[in-house]
């Protein structure tokens, strides 16, 4: 029997220029690589064809989603071991494929991989991949609606399984790693409401309202009237049902609406929790200006948003291929300094910034545990490929937060009146 695993290991190490950090098992049952720890399973030759056809993250993603690649053992451990070779290579060590192929050893390894992979071309991409035609029309109202539908309209029952009873799809706020997800999500909603200084009789706009949790909490606990907007039909239907069950239809309105189409301001406060990542860098100033225009003088915006670390050369920044194709199409992350600068250009006064990246790592690990504990049900509720996507992206993101590759920030910004009297407390974080 041929030892495909040993051949793969040797070729991979030639291409990477470093020892393979995980053990390999190939389609012929052979194994090679360091013993102990997780095992990267290459189930068939199709995995190689996908990787050779689209080298890098997209090829790996297609093989993973299709089930051609798998991990046995601790997924976090496997991703942690491989991060330095694939996802977190230093900027000055990354090279284009064209540059790499100038080296004879790399060309020889690639030729051997082509022979090992078998007949080309590879199969079509998995059905879960977002199909697009160029990037000239990103972040139009239509393209944003399609991107949001791709991510969120995959079944409310599936999201209930992953998110738990809180149905909040953003970073929770933990007292302790031993706390419950539901308590931590409630505490996050409470934190947002206090930062916004909500009081009975006020109007709140919840941008990207999801399944209605923030809108319901604010109306029930603080007596405000809420307009929640989302581009997801499934989210809106679910949120309206929850609002009715809570007896809050007189105070909460859920709309399927783009934030650019809201015309019934002004509002006393705006919450934007986990939505701004979808806006895009080209549209971000417009987003900030629209929200600024929807607030009353003295009104507050709580912008809860994931941010990335800045690069040495920002002009070379490229979106994550796996996330862009399978998770958040057209989503973009910016450094927090860029975000605060754009909010201030729009007219806001940034009054507070709280960085809570460790909280998101804890949240993601709970979501992964929920998914893994009911894996068979999750597959039935969506598809094997979709369940694999969510497991990989949430586990990888948890590690990225833990390793300070990305963070999450709550930015409190105020539409300060011309008089300069913002109505804010004299002592920071005495919100009301």
**Active site positions, annotated:** 397
430: CB partners within 8 A, 6+ apart: none
Name the strands in the sheet holding 267-273, side by side, starting at the edge strand that comes first in the sequence.
Answer: 252-256, 225-230, 203-207, 267-273, 295-308, 406-414, 349-355
Name the strands in the sheet holding 31-32, side by side, starting at the edge strand that comes first in the sequence.
Answer: 31-32, 23-25, 39-42, 69-72
Q: Tokens standing for 301?
A: 């915006």
Checking DSSP bridges between strand 252-256 and strand 349-355, what pairing results, if any?
unpaired
Cα angle 326-327-329, degrees, rounded to a multiple of 5: 85
Respond yes or no on whether the N-terminal peptide bond of residue 242 is cis (omega within 30° of 0). no
Q: Tokens standing for 107?
A: 């060309």
DSSP 44-101: STHHHHHHHHSTTHHHHHHHHHHTSEEEES-HHHHHHHHHTTTT---GGG---HHHHT
Burial 409-419, CB ≥16 within 10 A → b, else e: bbbbbbbbeee
Respond yes or no on whether the N-terminal peptide bond of residue 266 is cis (omega within 30° of 0). yes
d(CA 18, CA 336): 34
Beta strands in 91-232 (DSSP E): 203-207, 225-230
Instruction: Tell me if residue 239 falls in helix, strand or coil.
Output: helix
Q: What phi and psi values does residue 407 have, to the nearest 5 degrees?
A: -140, 180
């Amino acid at each position: 029997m041929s030892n495909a695993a040993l051949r793969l290991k040797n070729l991979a190490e030639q291409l990477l220029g470093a020892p393979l950090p995980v053990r390999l098992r190939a389609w012929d049952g052979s194994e090679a690589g360091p013993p102990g720890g997780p095992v990267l399973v290459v189930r068939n030759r199709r995995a190689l064809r996908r990787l050779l056809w689209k080298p890098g993250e997209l090829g790996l993603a297609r093989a993973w989603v299709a089930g051609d690649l798998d991990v046995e053992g601790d997924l976090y451990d496997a991703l942690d071991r491989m991060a330095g070779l694939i996802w977190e290579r230093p900027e000055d060590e990354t090279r284009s494929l064209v540059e790499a192929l100038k080296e004879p050893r790399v060309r020889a390894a690639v030729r051997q991989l082509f022979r090992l992979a078998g007949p080309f071309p590879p199969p079509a991409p998995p059905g879960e991949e977002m199909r697009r035609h160029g990037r000239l029309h990103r972040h139009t109202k239509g393209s944003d609606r399609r991107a949001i539908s791709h991510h969120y309209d995959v079944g409310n029952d599936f999201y209930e399984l992953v998110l738990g009873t809180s149905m909040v799809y953003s970073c929770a706020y933990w007292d302790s790693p031993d706390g419950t997800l539901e308590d931590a999500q409630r505490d996050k909603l409470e934190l947002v409401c206090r930062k916004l200084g909500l009081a009975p009789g006020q109007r709140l706009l919840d941008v990207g309202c999801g399944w209605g949790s923030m809108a319901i909490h604010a109306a029930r606990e603080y007596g405000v009237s809420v307009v929640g907007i989302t581009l997801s039909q499934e989210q809106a239907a679910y949120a309206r049902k929850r609002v009715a069950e809570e007896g809050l239809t007189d105070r909460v309105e859920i709309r399927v609406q783009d934030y650019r189409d809201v015309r019934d301001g002004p509002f006393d406060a705006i919450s934007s929790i986990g939505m701004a990542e979808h806006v895009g860098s080209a549209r971000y100033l417009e987003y900030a200006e629209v929200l600024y225009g929807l607030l009353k003088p003295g009104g507050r915006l709580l912008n809860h948003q994931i941010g990335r670390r800045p690069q040495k050369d920002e002009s070379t920044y490229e979106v994550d291929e796996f996330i862009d194709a399978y998770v958040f199409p057209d989503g973009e992350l910016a450094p927090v300094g860029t975000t605060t600068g754009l909010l201030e250009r729009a007219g806001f006064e940034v009054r507070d910034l709280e960085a809570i990246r460790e909280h998101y790592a804890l949240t993601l690990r709970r979501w992964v545990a929920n998914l893994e504990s009911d894996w068979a049900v999750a597959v039935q509720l969506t598809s094997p490929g979709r369940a694999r996507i969510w497991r990989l992206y949430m586990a990888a993101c948890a590690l990225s937060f833990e390793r300070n590759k990305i963070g999450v920030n709550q930015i409190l910004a105020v539409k300060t009146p011309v008089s300069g009297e913002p109505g804010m407390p004299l002592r920071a974080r005495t919100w009301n």
